[in-house]
Amino acid sequence: MTFAVVFPGQGAQSVGMLAELAAEHTIVQQTFAEASETLGRDLWEMAQSGPAEALSDTRITQPLMFTSGVAVWRLLSEAGLPAAGAFAGHSLGEFAALVASGALSFTDGLTLVQRRAELMAAAVPDGEGGMAALIGMSDEAVVDLCASISGDRISEAVNFNAPGQVAISGHLDALQKTVDAAKDQGCRKALMLAVSVPNHSSLMKPAGLELAETIDSLTFSEPSAPLVQNATAAAASDLQTLLGHLKAHVYNPVYWTRTVETLRDVHGVSTIIEAGPGKVLTGLGKRIDRSLPTLPVDSPATLAAALEAVGVTAA
């Protein structure tokens, strides 16, 4: 059986996340301690004590979720997980996938993610940018609607998360116009999201260009298995191509539906393991292909179930 390991991004965080796993497996808190030493602040205390508003600050969310994904990956590896057939991550999760695949060290990954968070937070003035969700419209209809509204003020379709579930990004006033127009067109659900940054929109291009300098300063290796990237929904043929796509990642869409389909159709994946807090990707997976199981790992019970599914008996 071929399985893939995927990593969630921003939005899956919650106060108290991974507490049960950490209580039984020291590798979780060890990973957080390593990250805290690198960053000079106690990430585990933040994760456990919150408040939730603090965890929603992208400068905190990004290193927190990245560390969480790597912690769960290390736990899976320690528990005897066989070699994965492929990797992927949703938005920020792609950076945890780079570490899991051996393409980037944890410390360098954390440095890169922290820089990404800072650049993204500074890319657009506070109160100017954000995101919204449109549920119940086709991808094409959302793209066309955004194109009809976007001009000097940006509204762009950026996260193709599952059939009929698209996130849009840009200036708040343009997004609100898009939400209102979507409702008028019969969209089942259209709402602004509690996100202060216009993730993956063209407004992030200056941040992406600066982040490329950090990427160039770090050491990368070929991943141990195909890493399906968000910007192309494909695994790069070589390391330089992978890095080129990674540099464009922050201002390009996340093609998650196509990513899951690529894992299934191109790389022969029959089971997906979601490594990290929450069950966001598990939920999306059910909407993309209910016959392709996605198994979350964020508690001792789900850890045991995921390991059993790939033929490992949890200790």
Phi and psi (nearest 5°) for 310?
-105, 20
Distance CA 92, CA 58 (A): 11
Contacts of 34 (CB under 8 A, 6+ apart): 106, 107
In angstroms, rounded to a whole number, what is the distance separating the alpha carbons of residues 180 and 173?
A: 11
Report the distance separating Cα 2 and Cα 273, nearest Å: 11
Catalytic residues, which ones?
Answer: 91, 200
Q: Which long-range contacts (CB under 8 A, 24 or more apart) does 120-124 make?
A: 120/58, 120/62, 120/197, 120/199, 120/204, 120/207, 120/250, 121/57, 121/58, 121/59, 121/196, 121/197, 122/207, 123/197, 123/198, 123/203, 123/204, 123/206, 123/207, 124/197, 124/198, 124/203
Query: What's the Cα-to-Cα distance from 278 to each of 64, 172, 296, rounded to whole Å?
Result: 13, 27, 8
Q: Are 228 and 94 in contact (CB under 8 A)?
A: no
